[in-house]
């Protein structure tokens, strides 16, 4: 009972922090593309429905992503019961999960990553509790995102390894359907982006967590502890590394599959820690505390990111700059009774559309001032980060 109460408290605090973070974000260009796409995706339809019921605002835009995140947390907690027997071990795993930089991003940014994570965790949860009956959700996964092709590859390999050929057959059919719908791009000149891929993985998981995940995957490979979770994580990770030798890899597509290895990592770490005498546990405690402190620092950097502008000479170098400015700019335009502008920038124009600023030729946003221009400056914590001039066009 106490475990459930602590889990719900952790879930509630995480929800509250994420909701508070919404206020400091503007819609990004990629988010606007999903929302205003001519052929709306499943995620786009979900976001549009939220905006229809709750109004055109940032909370309605991001609450569906937070809801998907909370679903993934609950599913990870249930999955971890098959690997961690102690209640507090599962709570620590969940806490580490919600602190991961990539998970926080997926919980707030309108992107298919959040939907992929929740759907992937659902499939694994069904597999652990219902066995092969989990395969009935594969048609849904095919529709959700082309990234699930890597899951289907893992199912093919898992079926052959375990001699459960139903997994291989259905995985091959799903893989074929996915390729026919979305295709796959493998090409480019040989150019190693291997280190770039590892760097992005490190940013998504934090350095110590990523290195330990890699270690656990390798260790289980040597020990031939090849369950489905290991097969999914290892397959996606190896495919991303192999592709990196020829082309730029979208690591965010592969990262959700590596998240599945977290219960394996927790099980390995805790088992290795507890079989040792107390005096030989110091380096493991140091490793855990160092990883946890780094995660806390990363989380604080995300949630108080506006203050980082004080330390940057060029605001555009801020990691969240592409998610800032536009909401404040649109509010300033509305205060000046301007409902449409020519932003002279396709990305900015699409982002302004969400806040009720449409395109027209009556006003223009420019970098240079004119006699009939009005200067607009956007500042965070008294630090100017964006400047433009609104010019009325005389016809």
Structure letter (DSSP) for residue 192: -
Please give the Cα distance from 48 to 218 (Å, whole number): 42
Which runs of E-coded beta strand occur in the chain? 340-342, 358-366, 373-380, 383-392
Contact between residue 213 and residue 262 where contact means Cβ atoms under 8 Å apart: yes
- Model confidence at 70, in pLDDT bands (50, 70, 90)? very high
Taking CA 61 as the corner, what is the angle to CA 66 and CA 357, rounded to the nearest 5 degrees? 160
Q: Which of these, 315, 104, 316, 80, lies nearest to 203 by C-alpha position?
A: 104
Q: Average of pLDDT values for 309-322? A: 90
- Taking the C-alpha atoms of residue 291 and residue 278, their distance in angstroms, rounded to an integer, is 20
pLDDT surpasses 70 at 324: yes
Query: Poorest-confidence range of 237-246, 254-263, 289-298?
Result: 237-246
Angle at 255 between CA 259 and CA 140, to 5 degrees: 85
CB atoms within 10 A of CB 389: 16
Burial of 76 (0-12, 13-18, 19+ CB in 10 A): buried
Question: Residue 185 above 80 pLDDT?
Answer: no
CA distance 76 to 10: 14
| pLDDT given for residue 152 in this prediction | 96
- pTM for the whole structure: 0.93
Start-to-end C-alpha separation, the chain: 71
**How far is residue 216's CA from residue 45's CA, in Å, rounded to a whole number?**
38
pLDDT of residue 270: 92
> Per-residue confidence at 189, pLDDT binned at 50, 70, 90?
low
Helix (H, G, I), strand (E, B) or coil at 367: coil
Q: Does 120 score more than 80 pLDDT?
A: yes
**Across 324-329, average pLDDT:** 95
pLDDT at residue 190 in the model: 62
Q: How far apart are CA 273 and CA 84, in angstroms?
A: 14
């Amino acid at each position: 009972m106490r475990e459930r109460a602590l889990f719900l408290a952790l879930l509630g605090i995480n929800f509250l922090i994420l909701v508070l973070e919404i206020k400091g974000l503007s819609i990004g260009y990629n988010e606007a593309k999903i929302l205003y796409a001519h052929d709306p995706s499943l995620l786009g339809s979900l976001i549009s429905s939220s905006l229809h019921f709750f109004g055109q605002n940032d909370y309605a835009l991001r609450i569906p992503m937070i809801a998907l995140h909370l679903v993934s947390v609950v599913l990870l907690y249930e999955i971890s019961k098959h690997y961690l027997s102690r209640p507090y071990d599962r709570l620590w795993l969940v806490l580490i999960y919600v602190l991961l930089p990539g998970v926080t991003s997926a919980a707030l940014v309108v992107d298919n990553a959040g939907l992929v994570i929740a759907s992937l965790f659902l499939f694994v949860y069904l597999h652990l509790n219902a066995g092969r009956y989990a395969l009935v959700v594969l048609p849904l996964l095919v529709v959700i995102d082309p990234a699930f092709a890597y899951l289907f590859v893992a199912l093919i390999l898992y079926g052959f390894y375990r001699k459960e050929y139903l997994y291989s057959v259905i995985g091959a059919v799903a893989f074929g359907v996915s390729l026919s719908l979305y295709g796959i791009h493998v090409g480019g000149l040989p150019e190693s982006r291997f280190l770039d891929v590892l760097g992005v993985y490190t940013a998504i998981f934090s350095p110590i967590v990523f290195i330990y995940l890699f270690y656990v995957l390798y260790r289980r490979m040597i020990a031939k502890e090849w369950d489905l979770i290991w097969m999914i994580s290892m397959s996606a990770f190896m495919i991303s590394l192999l592709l990196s030798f020829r082309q730029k890899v979208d690591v965010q597509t592969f990262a959700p599959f590596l998240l599945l290895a977290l219960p394996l990592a927790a099980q390995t770490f805790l088992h290795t820690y507890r079989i040792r005498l107390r005096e030989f546990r110091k380096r493991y405690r140091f490793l855990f505390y160092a990883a946890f402190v780094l995660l806390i620092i990363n989380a604080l950097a995300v949630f108080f990111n506006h203050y980082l502008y004080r330390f940057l000479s060029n605001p555009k170098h801020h990691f969240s700059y592409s998610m800032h400015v536009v909401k404040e700019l649109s509010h300033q335009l509305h205060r000046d009774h301007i409902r449409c502008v020519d932003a002279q920038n396709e990305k900015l124009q699409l982002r302004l559309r969400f806040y009720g600023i449409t395109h027209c030729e009556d006003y223009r946003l420019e970098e240079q001032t004119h006699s009939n221009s009005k200067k607009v400056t956007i500042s965070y914590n008294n630090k100017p980060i964006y400047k433009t001039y609104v010019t009325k066009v005389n016809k």
